[in-house]
Structure 1
Amino acid sequence: MSNNLIRKPISRRAHALEASLIREVAEVGMTMDDVVPLWFGEGAWPTSPQIVEAAIASLQAGRHNYQPNNGTVGLRDAICSYSNNLYGCELTRSQVTVTPSGMQGLMLAAEMLVTPEDRVVAIEPSWPNIIGAFKAMGADVVTQNLRPVDGRWALDLDALIDALTPDTTVFVVNSPNNPTGWTMSTQEQKTVLDHCRKHGIWIVSDDVYTRLYRHGTAAPSFLSIATAEDRLLSVNSFSKCWSMTGWRLGWVVAPPELEAKFGQLTEFNTSCTTSFVQDAGIVALQKCEGEIAELNTKIRRGFEITSYHLKRFSRVNFIEPDGAFYCFFQVDGLDNSYDAALQIMREAKVGLAPGIAFGGPGEGYLRLCYAQPEEVLHQAFDQLSTYLS
């Protein structure tokens, strides 16, 4: 009998996974010459020398071995101090698990909370990997859409509360939001937290862009209003505001009774996070507050340039983001954003993310990451002008 006839198929969950359309566009663009790459959520500036030097010193000191599943004591304590100072909370080490990236933190959260066919409510438009992690665990994902209201992105809070039914297992939210920059207010968070407490619903909050907030030092966080006993998982990352995308370092804050289980899940996924990268993370948290302020200054300037150029085109509509570093803009007449992104890349040599990648409500939009030097953005819009006109 042929091996092909007796070989079992891959799992239904693996088969059902969909490729990231952002990645598909980028993979094509990476084979082309002279494309201005604005597709990924990645700033153009390198990691702080202080952080790099800490990693080098750690390697030279022989920190080459396995580490605790939940992370080193030093980094977990540093995360507690950083979070407590920023959010006014009272985290303890038992609430923190270090992860090799924020994405791994989201995946661990999904593995921890979801069994197949569990109901999960999420916000769209949204970075596809967030919802994808829960779909990979077999969740039945129901979405609530952000929508433009009076020139701002807004969430219909009443509709969200109605969607968070007693049989809902998890509510997933990313705030500040990728791609729109929408940010959940403290009052909205309180309303959602109270409702989820009443019905025993878990909240998974992707807080990766909390420090990239245009109206203060940090965006509102559930950590400021929750207790250690609340069913809250806060997922964070060093990638964005410390310019450490390639380092793959993040963390999860969870109720202390999940500490051992997070350690076990980490064991079966990655065993542990790299030692010298964790040492670099301690320096990032303790010594690089100034670098975060500098990055926010740069991305504010990036938005000013992006806004100036986009307002020149009558076909383009966009809403000013409250956080993150993206402009999610709508183009009149655009009904297939994936094909449009490929066309723009071929003809204008600018790489943008297609709006459809962020869910159905994103169709008709394109996402541009403006965490770039001024000259790069000016060049990109010079090349985009023919298409956008």
Structure 2
Amino acid sequence: MSAAALPAADPLPELAGTLPARIQAVGTSQIGLVADRGRDDPEVVKLWIGEGDLPTPDFVVEAAHRAMQEGETRYTYSRGIPRLHQALSDYHRRHWGVEVAPERFAITAGGMNAIMQACQALLEHGDEVIIPTPNWPNLAEAVRVTGGVPVTVPYRRSADGRFSLPLADIAAAITPRTRVLVVNSPSNPTGWVMPIAEMQALRDLARERGLWIISDEVYNHFTYGNAIAPSFLQICTPSDRLIVANTFSKNWAMTGWRAGWIVYPEGLAATFSKLGQYNTTSIPTFIQHAAVTALDEGDAFIRTMVGRCAESRAIMVEGLSRLRGVTVFAPEGAFYIMARVDTGETSLDLAFRLLREAKVGVAPGTAFGPEGEGFVRICFAVSPALAREAVARLTRVLGERAA
């Protein structure tokens, strides 16, 4: 990290040193370091954070407004309102053909809180959690905050730039301290989608070793073939050691609403009621009513979002592949391109330079682990026009390949 990229010094470092070791070990987000440099600059094309450029659709906003007017502004069940549990059960049946009982859902303050509650429920101090890398940095930090130890397993990368995750690599990382296997498919930032046969093999490994699986399925709808990504709920029983984390943020452009959900095994409703109570009491009641509307009426909006992402993905992959020193491939899922950029700079310094010279904000690859060095992550959940503008600006700075 360059000196200019270091976070501001703590004015009372001696107090920071008295905090628990697990808190002192929590890393600073490199995405935030870059974003904070240009967050308020209207000229910057902001592609650093996993957020599209569409506003929350009117039918969701109106549902929240209507709920507020009807008095849905008071405390409610810590695990969420029953009507939302039923809507989630219907949603999973509609899209994955699975029956998930309404009592197996808990509503959380976004996907991040879903991951945090899963870690709180499962981890003792020193428990190891296997996480493929490069991956969303919040996963490992949630493990550290709750006393666990993240153990990274690098994705393999083929000659054409595609990622894979051999089961043998995961099995080799298991030790007597391993408690949890984490899967994020479709993956942020790699775009990898786990085939259902590999999911079944991982499920069988977890059953054999008595391990839990935390499945981050936030991007399931964002695939660019003929079907949405499979869910572990399709291949696991209600008694399997599986927790699925999800969010309303991506599908319905609700990042700022902070609403998500957990699916847990049968028999853990009381556990997640308590965790919800002591984490947030509950998320706002009127937001939960808006979330019901998103689930019940929002399938067409999801299709619009995914179609838009597919068009911008094609624009960016084609445009970036022409740039000097840049290697890209079309990701199978999610809405990120993990591009290798060979300029001789660290990925963090490159991200700062692209922000300064191109007015394009990207995430440094090392934000997702040391395996991300030499890469930048670019979010393409933007309009095709903005995707073209970003490519044009990057071309002016990086130049095109020699003919």
Class of the TM-score when normalised by the shorter of the 2 chains: over 0.9
Q: Deviations over 1:151-184 (max 9, x none)?
A: 2211122111222345410011111000110011
- 2:346 corresponds in structure 1 to 336
Indicate conservation of the 8 Å contact 2:314/2:330, yes or no: no
Deviations 1:235-281 (A, max 9, x none): 00010011111111100000121111111111111001111111011
Q: Does the aligned pair in 2 maintain the 1:175–1:206 contact within 8 Å?
A: yes
Please tell me the residue identity of whatever aligns with 1:81.
Answer: D
Deviations for 1:337-385, whole angstroms, at most 9, x for unmatched residues?
0111011111111100000000111110011111111221222222211
**Aligned to 2:319, which of 309, 320, 332?**
309
Pair 1:14-2:23 in alignment: yes
Do 1:166 and 1:201's aligned partners in 2 also have CA atoms closer than 8 Å? no
Q: What pairs up with 1:128-139 in 2 under 5 angstroms?
A: 128-139=137-148
CA distance in 2, matches of 1:373, 1:173: 29
Q: Does 1:273 align with 2:270?
A: no
Question: Which residue in the other structure is 1:288 paired with?
Answer: 298
Partner of 1:326: 336
Task: Quote the residue 2:51 is aligned against.
Answer: 42
1:231 paired with 2:241, answer yes
Aligned twin of 2:101: 92
2:378 is the alignment partner of 1:378: no
Q: Shift in Å at residue 6 of structure 1?
A: 9.9
- Which whole-Å CA distance do the structure 2 matches of 1:7 and 1:21 have between them? 20
User: What is residue 263 of structure 1 aligned with on the other side?
Assistant: 273
**Offset at residue 4 of structure 1 (A):** 10
In structure 2, what is the Cα distance between the partners aligned to 1:88 and 1:224?
A: 8
2:9 corresponds in structure 1 to: none
**What code does the residue aligned with 2:249 have?**
S
Deviation at 1:321, TM superposition (A): 0.6
Q: Which segment is superposed worse, 47-56 or 211-220?
A: 211-220
Task: Specify the code of the residue in structure 1 equivalent to 2:209.
Answer: H
Shift of 1:131: 1.4
Q: What's 2:259 paired with?
A: 249
The residue type equivalent to 1:17 in the other structure is V
Q: CA RMSD in A?
A: 1.7
Unaligned runs of at least 5 residues, structure 2: 1-11
- The TM-score, its normalising length taken from structure 1, stands at 0.96
Normalising by structure 2, we get a TM-score of 0.93
User: Secondary structure in 1 aligned to 2:269?
Assistant: helix
Bigger Cα displacement from structure 2, 237-246 vs 153-162? 153-162
Give a deviation string over 1:59-83, Cα, whole Å, max 9, x none: 0101110010110000011111111
Matches within 5 A, 1:22-171: 22-151=31-160, 152-171=162-181
* 2:5 alignment partner in structure 1: none
Correspondence for 2:203 = 193
Q: CA, structure 1 residues 74+156, in 2 after alignment: closer, same or farther (shift >3 Å)?
A: same
Code of the residue aligned with 1:379 in structure 2: it is E
* Aligned amino acid, residue 395 of structure 2: S
* Residues 6, 366 of structure 1: alpha-carbon distance in 2 compared, 3 angstrom cutoff: closer
- For 1:184, the aligned partner's letter is M
Q: Distance in 1 between matches of 2:16 and 2:215?
A: 40
Aligned equivalent of 2:7: none
Q: Distance in 1 between matches of 2:102 and 2:280?
A: 20
Alignment partner, residue 215 of structure 2: 205
Shift of the 44–8 alpha-carbon distance from structure 1 to 2, 3 Å rule, reads closer
Q: Deviations over 1:303-353 (max 9, x none)?
A: 111012112124110122111111110012344101110111111111000
SS in 1 for 2:330: coil
1:36-73 Cα offsets, whole Å, 9 max, x none, are 11111001111111111111100010111001011000
- In 2, distance between residues paired with 1:42 and 1:136? 25
Bigger mean CA offset, 282-291 vs 370-379: 370-379
Query: Within 5 Å, which residues of 2 pair with 1:325-364?
Result: 325-364=335-374
Aligned residue for 1:86, secondary structure, equals helix
Identity %: 38
For residue 257 of structure 1, give the secondary structure of its aligned residue in structure 2: coil
Length, aligned pairs only: 387
Instruction: State how far apart, in whole Å, the 2-side matches of 1:43 and 1:6 are.
Output: 39
In structure 2, what residue type is equivalent to 1:71? G
Give yes or no for contact 1:100–1:274 (8 Å, CA) kept in 2: no
Between the aligned partners of 2:127 and 2:152, the Cα distance in structure 1 is 14
Structure 1 residue ranges without an equivalent (≥5):
none
